[in-house]
Amino acid sequence: MELARTPVSISNADLSEDRFSRFGLIDWWDQSKLRSAKILVVGAGAIGNEILKNLALLGIGHVIVIDLDSIEISNLSRSVLFRPSDVGRPKADVAAERTRDLYPECKVKAISGNVRHDLGLGVFRWADVILGALDNREARLWINRAAWKMNRPWIDGAIEGINGVARVFLPGKPPCYECTLGEVDWKILDRRMSCKLLTREEIQGGKTPTTPTTSSVIAGIQVQEAVKLLHGLPVLAGKGFVFEGMNHTSYVVEYTPHEECMSHEVYDHTTYWPKPSNKTTVAELHAFAQQELAATDVSLDFSRDVIQALKCPKCGLSRDIYACAGTVTVDEGKCSVDGEAMEVAAIHGFGGKETYGNRTVAGMGLPPYDVFVARSRDREMRILMDADRATVLAGLD
């Protein structure tokens, strides 16, 4: 046993060398893989806090964290990165700051927004691994489809009370998250989106009972699986690690792939478009696709549904919207004249003749750094809005 140590002077270079020295004692560990890793963390609540803490301690080099909410007093009991003085500030901003405090060499970017409306598919493409720290099925389903399209693995975490589950989903290798959904899950999903693409407010206010102990167990497994993935080691692919806190039992569940699953689409070759979303019209992108595909029957698909307008069936009042489906609430969808529920006109793409062709991609309500799919009768292509990259990923390269 070593009781007395000789004091030594330590330079900054030695410090950064020393910081991760204990990891190097694990024979397969390669710190350079973690230093160069790019991780997208969706959610900065109870699980997200634990994930970010772990990523910082492990020396992960590049992180994007997205969250929609601001910090409330009730978050303080489950969020290691938040302080009482942070109440009212955006969760993503504070979580990013504290991650940087823990590991100043980590390049971390905060995005205050909703993963379904505000994150272009290019951000998923940027990430080596996506970590889900969410409390609702809508966002999980969206991440699942986006991660598959962009050919990226994602690791989901879910907790309730003192129980939880961590699952790993690899693109191109079903089962995926959507394959795991049962009848009850679909009923809940359908009920929430029942009103023709308008959002019922309660989606935002999910109040799942959670504790910091369970979130640290599940986030710990998620990040450990991410570390293994980054090293090319075997992971819980298509399986779930279930933790039951009451009896201290844990086990692995296997899921069955569903043949009719809608998520199993992986985008292959992607073409880069050189102008930013706010300077590119939809018609311009369509013309480019026609030229590339050498066809005139081209349709351009958006990455997500757009609400074009709301129309009142009673008085005929019409209001242009141009925003992603899910951003307009049921209350906002009521007629200002007679209070009648307005009808939603939704669009999914551009065929070449619609009047909104002269709108910019940003003016359609679509997020920057997104991906479009263009199809002719016998060919298709993907177009990445690559000129948005510098803005969206500023500070991460």
Whichever of 10 and 262 has its CB closer to Zn ion, that residue is: 262
Inter-residue contact 44 to 91 (CB < 8 Å): yes
Residue 199 within binding range of Zn ion, rule CB under 5 A: no
Whichever of 67 and 156 has its CB closer to Zn ion, that residue is: 156
CA distance 121 to 386: 11
Inter-residue contact 290 to 296 (CB < 8 Å): yes
Of the listed pieces 168-176, 195-203, 231-239, 325-333, which binds Zn ion according to CB under 5 A? 168-176
CA distance 175 to 179: 5
**Quick one: which of 257, 247, 266, 58 has its CA closest to 146?**
266
CB of 253 to Zn ion, least distance (A): 15
Cβ-based burial of 210 (10 A; exposed 0-12, middle 13-18, buried ≥19): buried
- The residues, ordered by sequence, that sit 6+ positions from 268 with a Cβ below 8 Å of its Cβ are 382
Residue 263 within binding range of Zn ion, rule CB under 5 A: yes
- The residues, ordered by sequence, that sit 6+ positions from 271 with a Cβ below 8 Å of its Cβ are 292, 381, 382, 383, 384
Inter-residue contact 261 to 176 (CB < 8 Å): yes
> Which of 115, 179, 181, 385 touches Zn ion (CB under 5 A)?
179
Site string for Zn ion, 1-40 (x = CB under 5 A): ----------------------------------------
Residue 170 within binding range of Zn ion, rule CB under 5 A: no
Whichever of 312 and 325 has its CB closer to Zn ion, that residue is: 312
Of the listed pieces 132-140, 165-173, 338-346, 373-381, which binds Zn ion according to CB under 5 A? 338-346
> Which of 335, 364, 383, 384 touches Zn ion (CB under 5 A)?
335
CB of 189 to Zn ion, least distance (A): 14
Cβ-based burial of 216 (10 A; exposed 0-12, middle 13-18, buried ≥19): buried
- Residues touching Zn ion, count (CB under 5 A): 14
> Which of 337, 343, 377, 397 touches Zn ion (CB under 5 A)?
337
Residue 315 within binding range of Zn ion, rule CB under 5 A: yes
Side-chain-side CA neighbours of residue 334 (13 Å): 8
Whichever of 139 and 335 has its CB closer to Zn ion, that residue is: 335
Residue 141 within binding range of Zn ion, rule CB under 5 A: no
Whichever of 176 and 383 has its CB closer to Zn ion, that residue is: 176
∠ Cα 55 60 61 (to 5°): 140
Binding site for Zn ion (CB under 5 A): 174, 176, 178-179, 261, 263, 312, 314-315, 317, 335, 337-338, 340
